[in-house]
């Protein structure tokens, strides 16, 4: 019955024992050395302060009871130093106490001998070895009353994160009620990470007992340096000495089975599986993104860099005049702030970049009080792919532009007051925002209102089909905007540089050079062959690592889905899968499925129908899709110029349907549109209506496909019309011919004839009127519907699972191919 407690205690010790490089897993994860002074021998005898049991009638305790009672040590509370879970010999139950004495030379199993005959559930205790070398006791200085709990309640104490790592998300207080000042003096032991940059907000009208030095001229760096003084004990010169001393003491007291030096030696063995796992964890945690300012500035290796990142952020915000310091007035609605941190890997062997961002906690805002409008457009996924398809086809230069603290450059229309972070806090002072700040609900709206007039002054015209594409027809500049990320394409570098310089005169931006990544997409080009690949190798590799699906641990997968059977609804009595795990994996798969990997669209769409009640086979199927992505991580959308071996048709759509293969008798529709021979829009979706025949299922699929085609045709034609008049582009643009009507293919002759016949027949009169819209569009010349054989139907893989051979053909037909090794880039922003 004590094995679970023993296992947890062993894990507690292992996490605080050094494995390699004289660091423990605890220190690698939390960036602070562990405190081992409160660790004691598991299962030893203890005597705890006895809270007198009250008489149920008199509610008074018996004064004649002993002040102490014997118990057995079971667990060390990881959240509160000095608190322990023990086993009460008399009451035979677990309880929590902070007032106790330890007798580590006396195993607690001997105490069970007296009651073993009375309680058959207790396991026989083994004869302990007599230990006469250590007959000392260690006293706990605190003296609170023990709290008795049941076995179930003790599980709540077994938390893995120390107290100082908990997220300080406070409830919004009443405006008239003052908030208490947090004590910033770092406590001993595991709680040393508490410092001036604690995320707990501090209101301005509260005075503290501690006098602040030179509060009127307090700067971020000075605050950090002043508060780091109590942390001086954790310098590289004395950390290891203190850890060695504590762990050696544990060995002397019999808590560790091997001397500290042997533990280090064991961890250094290259063939030790445990050491390999620890090294892998060390590599992953070496540059772990901190969650708090305390964790950032006190990082043993990156602390200086994080401190510089914080200073740079504050300096930039002050440069833009983001806030004005004003006296706090009673009744002010205050929004709290915090720092968030991001490590951006380097590009082209450049060093990685550490970014600190000061954000407002906008979830506390109230509509109509401190914000009104929030809408800001973002490009559709198809729009993003159209942009890159046109760049590839016209062989345009393409650069990436990043706005420096974009939101902080946009003026606010509402009155918003912020509570400064503790490192910038001054007594009686709050911030009145002049500019937007990341985290505010209206920040994106304000930024759009800032940049749109600037782009209009430079001659850019907004696309009526998607506001995020803008073109200057005179200079041939085409841009795609996603909030503060801007992709700029043009006929040559000189034209692009002139545009960027003009924009830089109005807003703060940085030219990031040739575009290599955008919104998580990796862009590779072969300028000689006029080809482009959009991939997500970095994202897929990271996903595989998180799911423990590295290439050497699982065999390759030929197709994402094997058969219909795994996609059926969960049956009564069938083993259920963990819902959270299934939803997490499926959510991870969604992003590549809608951005660069149409080959898994059917798989993710079908599996998403089981998110509320997944079976074990659904979870296995989701993992299979993830393994397939891992094995094809370099695959992505390939665009090819029509002049370089492409087809004569520039924009083409395909519509297909699979009739009633599901047990619920619903058919599955699939569609795909290609531009520059690469897919720009696709969808796999179960039909809402039950079709009574294959012809009917195919016909029902025409209208949704035609809707998308009409919009895509207008968007592409508008872009080409604007670029035809631009110098150095006009000749290329005129070679690309896109008809005013959308070309769409189907592989069912009967369905094509029904769509081309304006009249109604007795066999189609029951079909919902919304699906007859395609008839009118064909009559008006907006849609041209043609027949294609099933072997050449590109939408076939969006309607059903295919065997590996057919699936490979389908993937090749839609131009999802691997980017060449010599050209492929796996760097990411």
Return the sign of the alpha-carbon dihedral for residues 66, 70, 75, 76.
Answer: positive
- In the β-sheet with 334-335, what is the strand arrangement from edge to edge? 323-327, 429-433, 417-418, 334-335
* pLDDT score recorded for residue 620: 94
Q: How far is CA 367 from CA 171, 202, 257, 362, 608, in A?
A: 18, 24, 61, 11, 34
176-190, 365-379, 632-646, 760-774: which has the highest mean pLDDT? 365-379
Is the predicted pLDDT of residue 148 greater than 90, yes or no? no
* pLDDT score recorded for residue 53: 59
CA dihedral defined by 395, 396, 397, 399, rounded to 10 degrees? -120
pLDDT 10s digits, 75-99:
888 777 788 999 888 888 888 888 8
Is the predicted pLDDT of residue 126 greater than 50, yes or no? no
State the SS3 of 385-442.
HHHHHHHHHHCCEEEEEEECCHHHHCECCCCCEECCCHHHCCCCEEEEECECCCCCCC
* pLDDT score recorded for residue 271: 47
Is the predicted pLDDT of residue 255 greater than 60, yes or no? no
Is the predicted pLDDT of residue 552 greater than 70, yes or no? no
State the SS3 of 329-368.
CCCCCEECEEEEEEEECCCCCCCCEEEEEEEECHHHCCEC
Hey, which residues does 70 pair with through a beta bridge?
47
Residue 585 class from Cβ within 10 Å (0-12 exposed, 13-18 middle, 19+ buried)?
buried
Counting other chains too, the contacts that 762-768 makes at CB distance below 8 Å and 24 or more residues apart are 764/696, 764/699, 767/689, 767/696, 767/699, 767/700, 768/689
Q: pTM of the entire structure?
A: 0.68
Quick count: other Cβ atoms within 10 Å of Cβ 16?
21
- DSSP percent split of the chain into helix, strand, coil, nearest 5: 35, 20, 45
Helix axes of 579-595 and 616-631: crossing angle, nearest 10 degrees = 40
Q: Which of 483-487, 563-567, 811-815 has the lowest mean pLDDT?
A: 563-567
> Are residues 68 and 50 in contact, defined by beta-carbon separation less than 8 angstroms?
yes
pLDDT 10s digits, 694-742:
999 999 999 999 999 999 999 999 999 898 888 777 566 666 766 788 9
Average pLDDT, the chain: 78
Q: Which of 207-211, 275-279, 285-289 has the lowest mean pLDDT?
A: 207-211
Q: Which of 661-670, 785-794, 808-817 has the lowest mean pLDDT?
A: 661-670
* pLDDT score recorded for residue 663: 67
Confidence of residue 352 (pLDDT cuts 50, 70, 90): confident
Q: Which parts of 177-254 fold into alpha helices (H)?
A: 220-227, 236-252
197 token code pair: 């940059």
* pLDDT score recorded for residue 248: 62
Q: Are strands 635-640 and 742-746 parallel, antiparallel or unpaired?
A: unpaired
Q: What is the DSSP code string of 605-648? A: HHHGGGSSS-BHHHHHHHHHHHHHHHHTTTEEEEEE-TTTT--S
* pLDDT score recorded for residue 644: 57
* pLDDT score recorded for residue 68: 84
Is the predicted pLDDT of residue 563 greater than 80, yes or no? yes
Which among 142, 104, 418 has a CA at the least distance from the CA of 255? 104
Return d(Cα 611, Cα 590) in angstroms, integer.
Answer: 13
Return the sign of the alpha-carbon dihedral for residues 761, 764, 767, 768.
Answer: negative
- Which helix (H) or strand (E) element contains residue 462? strand 461-462
- Mean pLDDT score, 171-199: 37
* pLDDT score recorded for residue 197: 37
* pLDDT score recorded for residue 533: 96
Phi, psi of 423, rounded to the nearest 5 degrees? -70, -15
> Are residues 346 and 827 in contact, defined by beta-carbon separation less than 8 angstroms?
yes
211 token code pair: 């006098």
* pLDDT score recorded for residue 296: 87
**193 CB contacts (<8 Å, ≥6 apart)?**
30, 31, 32, 164, 165, 186, 292, 294, 295, 298
- Mean pLDDT score, 309-334: 92
Return d(Cα 206, Cα 635) in angstroms, integer.
Answer: 58
State the SS3 of 246-293.
HHHHHHHCCCCCCCHHHHHHHHCCCCCHHHHHHHHHHHHHCCCCCCCH
**717 CB contacts (<8 Å, ≥6 apart)?**
738, 740
* pLDDT score recorded for residue 260: 47
Return d(Cα 23, Cα 89) in angstroms, integer.
Answer: 38
pLDDT 10s digits, 430-447:
999 999 999 999 999 999
Hey, which residues does 535 pair with through a beta bridge?
522, 636
Is the predicted pLDDT of residue 23 greater than 90, yes or no? no
Return d(Cα 747, Cα 764) in angstroms, integer.
Answer: 19
Q: Which domains are assigned to the chain?
A: 37-164 (no CATH), 177-234+302-465+490-502 (no CATH), 537-818 (3.30.420.10)
Range list of β-strands (E), 628-741: 635-640, 651-658, 668-675, 678-686
Return d(Cα 826, Cα 188) in angstroms, integer.
Answer: 44
Which among 508, 404, 676, 501 has a CA at the least distance from the CA of 488? 501
Residue whose entry in the numeric block shows the structure tokens 């509370």: 77
DSSP state of 666: -
**505 CB contacts (<8 Å, ≥6 apart)?**
none
- Mean pLDDT score, 390-408: 92
Query: Quick check: helix, strand or coil at residue 750?
Result: helix
Return d(Cα 272, Cα 270) in angstroms, integer.
Answer: 6
265 token code pair: 């030696």
115 token code pair: 């009651």
**590 CB contacts (<8 Å, ≥6 apart)?**
604, 608
Return d(Cα 515, Cα 491) in angstroms, integer.
Answer: 15
Which among 89, 76, 72, 91 has a CA at the least distance from the CA of 11? 76
């Amino acid at each position: 019955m004590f094995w679970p407690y023993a296992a947890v205690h062993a894990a507690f010790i292992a996490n605080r024992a050094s494995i390699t490089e004289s660091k423990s897993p605890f220190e690698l994860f939390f960036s602070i050395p562990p405190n081992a002074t409160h660790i004691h021998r598991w299962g030893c005898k203890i005597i705890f302060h006895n809270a007198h049991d009250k008489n149920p009638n008199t509610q008074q305790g018996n004064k004649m009871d002993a002040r102490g009672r014997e118990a057995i040590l079971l667990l060390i509370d990881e959240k509160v130093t000095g608190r322990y879970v023990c086993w009460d010999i008399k009451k035979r139950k677990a309880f929590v106490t902070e007032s106790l004495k330890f007798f580590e030379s006396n195993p607690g199993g001997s105490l069970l001998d007296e009651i073993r005959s009375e309680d058959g559930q207790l396991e026989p205790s083994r004869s302990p070895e007599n230990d006469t070398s250590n007959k000392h006791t260690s006293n706990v200085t605190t003296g609170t009353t023990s709290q008795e709990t049941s076995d179930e309640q003790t599980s709540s104490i077994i938390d893995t994160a120390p107290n100082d790592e908990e997220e300080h998300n406070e409830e919004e207080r009443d405006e008239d009620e003052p908030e208490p000042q947090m004590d910033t003096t770092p406590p001993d032991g595991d709680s040393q990470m508490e410092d001036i940059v604690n995320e707990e907000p501090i209101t301005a009208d509260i005075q503290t007992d501690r006098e602040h030095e030179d509060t009127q001229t307090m700067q971020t760096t000075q605050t950090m340096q002043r508060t780091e003084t109590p942390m001086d004990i954790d310098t590289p010169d004395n950390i290891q000495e203190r850890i060695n001393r504590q762990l050696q003491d544990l060995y002397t007291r019999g808590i560790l089975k091997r001397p500290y030096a042997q533990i280090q030696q064991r961890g250094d063995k290259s063939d030790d599986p445990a050491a390999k796992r620890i090294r892998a964890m060390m590599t992953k945690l070496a540059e772990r993104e901190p969650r708090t300012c305390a964790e950032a500035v006190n990082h043993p290796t990156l602390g200086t860099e994080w401190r510089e990142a914080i200073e740079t952020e504050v300096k930039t915000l002050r440069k833009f005049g983001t806030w004005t310091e004003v006296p706090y007035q009673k009744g002010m609605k205050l929004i709290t702030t915090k720092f968030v941190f991001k490590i951006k890997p380097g590009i082209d062997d450049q060093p990685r970049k550490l970014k600190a961002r000061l954000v407002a906690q906008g979830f506390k805002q109230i509509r109509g009080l401190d914000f009104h409008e929030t809408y800001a457009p973002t490009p559709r996924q198809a729009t993003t792919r159209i942009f890159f398809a046109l760049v590839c086809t016209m062989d345009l230069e393409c650069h990436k532009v990043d706005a420096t603290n974009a939101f902080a450059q946009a003026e606010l229309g509402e009155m918003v007051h912020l509570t400064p972070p503790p490192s910038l806090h001054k007594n009686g002072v709050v911030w009145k925002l002049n500019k937007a700040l990341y985290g505010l609900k209206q920040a994106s709206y304000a930024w759009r209102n800032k940049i749109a007039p600037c782009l209009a002054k430079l001659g850019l015209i907004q696309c009526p089909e998607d506001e995020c594409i803008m073109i200057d027809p005179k200079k041939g500049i085409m841009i795609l905007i996603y909030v503060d990320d801007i992709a700029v394409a043009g006929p040559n570098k000189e034209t692009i540089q002139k545009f960027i310089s003009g924009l830089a005169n109005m807003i703060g931006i940085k030219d990031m050079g040739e575009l290599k990544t955008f919104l998580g997409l990796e862009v590779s080009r072969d300028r000689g062959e006029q080809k482009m690949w959009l991939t997500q190798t970095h994202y897929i590799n990271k996903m595989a690592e998180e799911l423990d699906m590295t290439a050497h641990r699982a065999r390759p997968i030929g197709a994402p889905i094997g058969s219909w059977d795994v996609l059926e609804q969960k049956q009564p009595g069938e083993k259920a899968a963990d819902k959270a795990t299934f939803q997490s994996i499926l959510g991870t798969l969604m992003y590549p499925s809608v951005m660069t990997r149409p080959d898994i669209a059917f798989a993710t769409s079908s599996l998403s129908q089981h998110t509320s009640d997944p079976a074990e086979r659904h979870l296995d199927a989701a993992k299979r899709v993830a393994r397939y992505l891992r094995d094809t991580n370099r695959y992505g959308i390939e665009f090819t110029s029509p002049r370089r071996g492409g087809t004569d048709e520039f924009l083409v759509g395909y519509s297909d349907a699979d009739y009633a293969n599901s047990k619920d008798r619903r058919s599955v529709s699939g569609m795909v549109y290609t531009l520059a021979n690469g897919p720009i829009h696709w969808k796999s979706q179960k039909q809402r209506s039950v079709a009574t025949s294959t012809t009917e299922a195919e016909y029902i699929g025409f209208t949704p496909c035609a809707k998308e085609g009409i919009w895509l045709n207008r968007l592409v034609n508008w872009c080409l019309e604007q670029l035809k008049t631009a110098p150095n582009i006009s000749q290329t643009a005129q070679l690309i011919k896109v008809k005013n009507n959308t070309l769409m293919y189907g592989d069912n002759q009967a369905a094509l004839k029904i769509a081309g016949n304006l009249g109604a027949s007795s066999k189609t009169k029951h079909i919902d009127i919304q699906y007859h819209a395609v008839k009118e569009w064909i009559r008006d010349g907006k849609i041209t519907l043609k027949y294609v054989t099933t072997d050449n139907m590109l939408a076939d893989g969006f309607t059903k699972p295919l065997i590996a051979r057919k699936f490979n053909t389908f993937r090749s037909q839609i131009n999802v191919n691997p980017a060449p090794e010599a050209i492929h880039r796996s760097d990411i922003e």
